[in-house]
């Protein structure tokens, strides 16, 4: 199966309040482009048959940042509950048979190649899933099969996709090794490091 075969949907999660950072990380820029715009653009470049963006905090500003892109925008009014609530909103908008490429917008080193490798790996795996290694665990960006997404409908609080992925046996899914994606943006110090590394303006 080709990673660009229109067999998946893409979900960009961008509803968080960036409380530790003190400013919306969605609107930070790399090469003059906001991170939320960049994430949606890269997700769209994988040619999904649907492209969803979940927003919540700073909804008006984040929505405006992608107004030139073809994307379905969903509002998570319960964004303060955590990541699980955004996944519920997204999964609730999908048909039961869909698999999904899921990503955030706080990994400034993310490139299209990472997403393509995840999609290709998921297509070749026994479970139809793929995830990115994070300090020995599994996280986003990730590709979740329809079966795993069904479990996401019951997520609560700040529980994300990781819990469902952890239930998969080792060897049944593709694991992307990309150390640069372990670095995300939660604090002012991490923003300063990203700027020094050249992945943030």
What's the pLDDT tens digit per position in 49-81?
Answer: 999 999 999 999 999 999 999 999 999 998 888
pLDDT of residue 1: 37
The mean pLDDT of 156-175, rounded to a whole number, is: 67
The pair of structure tokens assigned to 18 is 């960036």
Ordered domains of the chain (ranges, CATH):
8-193 (3.90.550.10)
Q: Are 59 and 77 in contact (CB under 8 A)?
A: no
Can you tell me the distance from the alpha carbon of 200 to that of 34, in angstroms, rounded to the nearest whole number?
10
| 166 vs 117: which has the higher pLDDT | 117
Reading phi first (left if > 0) and then psi (alpha if -120 to 50, else beta), residue 180 is in alpha
pLDDT of residue 5: 47
pLDDT above 90: percentage of residues in the chain: 46
Q: Are 134 and 182 in contact (CB under 8 A)?
A: yes
- Look at residue 12 and tell me whether its pLDDT is greater than 70: yes
- Look at residue 111 and tell me whether its pLDDT is greater than 50: yes
């Amino acid at each position: 199966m080709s990673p660009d075969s229109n067999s998946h949907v893409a979900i960009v999660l961008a509803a968080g309040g960036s409380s530790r950072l003190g400013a919306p990380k969605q609107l930070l820029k790399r090469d003059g482009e906001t991170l939320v715009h960049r994430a949606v653009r890269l997700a769209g470049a994988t040619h999904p048959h649907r492209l969803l963006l979940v927003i919540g905090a700073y909804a008006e500003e984040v929505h405006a940042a992608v107004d030139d892109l073809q994307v379905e925008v969903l509002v998570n009014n319960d964004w303060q509950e955590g990541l699980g609530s955004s996944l519920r909103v997204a999964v609730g908008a999908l048909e039961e048979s869909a698999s999904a490429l899921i990503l955030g917008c706080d990994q400034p080193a993310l490139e299209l190649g990472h997403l393509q490798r995840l999609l290709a790996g998921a297509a070749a795996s026994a479970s139809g899933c793929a995830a990115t290694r994070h300090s020995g665990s599994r996280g986003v960006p990730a590709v979740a099969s329809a079966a795993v997404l069904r479990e996401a409908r019951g997520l609560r609080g700040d529980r994300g996709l990781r819990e469902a992925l952890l239930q998969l046996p080792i060897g049944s899914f593709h694991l992307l090794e990309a150390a640069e994606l372990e670095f995300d943006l939660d604090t002012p110090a991490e923003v300063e490091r990203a700027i020094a590394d050249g992945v943030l303006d």
